[in-house]
Amino acid sequence: MERLSASTPLADTVVKPAFEPKTLKPGILHIGLGAFHRAHQAVYNDLALAKEPGDWGIVGVSLRSLDIVRDLRAQDHLYSVVTRSGAGESAQVVGSIVRGISAVEDRDELLALLVNPAIKIVTITVTEKAYGLDPSTGGLDRNHPAVAADLANPSAPVGVIGYIVEGLARRHAARQEPFTVLCCDNLPTNGRIVRRLVIEMAGARDPALANWISGHGAFPSSMVDRIVPAATDESRARAAEMLGAEDALSLETEPFMQWVIEDHFISGRPAWDQAGALFVDDVEPYEKMKLRLLNGAHSMIAYLGQLKGLEYVRDVMAVPEYRDLARRHMQSARKTLDPVPGIDLDQYIDQLIERFENPTIAHRTKQIAMDGSQKLPQRLFAGTAEALAKGEDAETAALATALWIAYAKRTPNIDDPRREELRRAAAEPAGDDALAAFFALPGLFPKALIDNRGWRDRVNAKLAEIEAGRI
Ligand code: CS2
């Protein structure tokens, strides 16, 4: 079978870009070419360009991988997204990515693009752990390898914050406008976090640069949502059948997608609003809702699945007791949320249950279980502290926490940047407070949880039940 390219004759049933990808000019630089970006932002961008043409092609940057860039080049930067649910499936070819750059190979080209005035927006999906955020201070973690490298050698960056700072420094020196930085990772107030890290790193080299960024920069926050599992041989084979061509970059995803963005862009933006994105003054209520209801329950399901030998989210959801638990956890986390404009939280929860149950989406519990130390503070612990302060018992959150700890204890090779610390904590002799070593990990649990003896006892009791095989 031939490989997907601009000359592949595609079946009528395949949705194609409504514009000519070959002549699309770049206006966005996106860092982090993973599955999520390709099935979310790039899809919104295709829809926006169909409604309102403009120079908003995406230059996709991978900070670590060469393969994905090679695959993009081999396919004229085209790839497919297959949407699946019980109601059926459909395929679309996405045309928004106009170029791929690997920082491993082309650092200079990437730096040149960051100072190219055609690039108006830099968007980011690099996952929580790549920012180098110190959770205890909210500032830079100077021991994070990329942060340490970029502070020591700012003109040859390796990390995401280092690239942004060097790009902005070059713009400042050239007396240009800054680019807008739009973070699309699952962090609360993600724009504010990135702004703070960028200004801190800029200040370490030049206080005038930090001042300029704080006065002129734009870092809108955004909430992103679409369930996009890692591709597999089976998903690629299904895409090839629908396309009539091999596509090494194809992805499968659910029909649902959501994007809520603060409308603060220095030099314009694509008509993402016409593609269904919601522009609001304050994203925080939406972020909290999504992190605590969707991602919090997702993590709970993932650890449950890993401990019970259930490979996919849908398998966990097929056990009535676990599905009820996921719902109860969402209902309990919901009590910590303020009203979210335009959203009925009962319906939102019903929809999440249905999305998790989607029988056609093979989302590995192992994939979601990774990086718990980076995910759980915002998905679980912050909300738990608020729930306890309101007099709630936070029972399901105690169980979710115990599930993570049980998983960490059983998984010496846990996929987590704090693996060594977790391993040491797991090896501590248990005593009557088996969690003491985990609660002592810096920056992980809010002080209000550490100090709450009653809640600690509940987590300990849940852990004992899990370890005794009663849960
Ligand atoms: C998941 C998310 O892997 C994970 O941790 O919880 O990637 C989740 O699928 C997305 O945030 C959905 O928008």
CA–centroid distance, 368 to ligand 1, in Å, is 7
Residue closest via CA to ligand 1's atom 6 equals 295
What's the gap in Å between 346 CA and the centre of ligand 1?
20
Q: Is the pLDDT of residue 432 over 90?
A: no
Q: Look at residues 361, 261, 349 and name the one whose alpha carbon lies nearest to residue 311.
A: 361
Q: How many angstroms separate the CA atoms of 416 and 436, rounded?
A: 20
| Mean pLDDT (whole number) for 182-186 | 98
Distance 227 CA to ligand 1 centre (A): 6
Mean pLDDT, the chain, whole residue set: 97
Q: How many Å lie between the centroid of ligand 1 and the Cα of residue 225?
A: 8
State the ipTM, two decimals.
0.99
Q: Residue 431 has what pLDDT?
A: 73
- Three-state SS for 32? coil
> What is the pLDDT averaged over residues 194-198?
98
For the record, the structure tokens of 228 come out as 């996009």
Does the beta carbon of 367 lie inside 6 Å of ligand 1? Answer: yes
**258 CB near ligand 1 (under 6 Å):** no
User: What would the pLDDT profile of 231-272 be if each residue is shown by its tens digit?
Assistant: 999 999 999 999 999 999 999 999 999 999 999 999 999 999
The CA distance from 100 to 37, in Å, is: 13
Share of the chain above pLDDT 70, in %: 100
Q: Is 306 in the pocket of ligand 1 (CB under 6 A)?
A: no
Measured from the Cα of 371, ligand 1's closest atom is: 5
Tens of pLDDT, residue by residue over 141-171, are 999 999 999 999 999 999 999 999 999 999 9
Distance 329 CA to ligand 1 centre (A): 17
3-state secondary structure of 144: coil
pLDDT at 33: 97
Mean pLDDT for the stretch of residues 74-91: 97
- Provide the edge-to-edge strand list for the sheet that holds 26-31: 97-102, 57-62, 26-31, 121-124, 180-183
Q: In this structure, are residues 259 and 223 in contact, taking their beta carbons and an 8 Å threshold?
A: yes
368 lines ligand 1 (CB under 6 A): yes
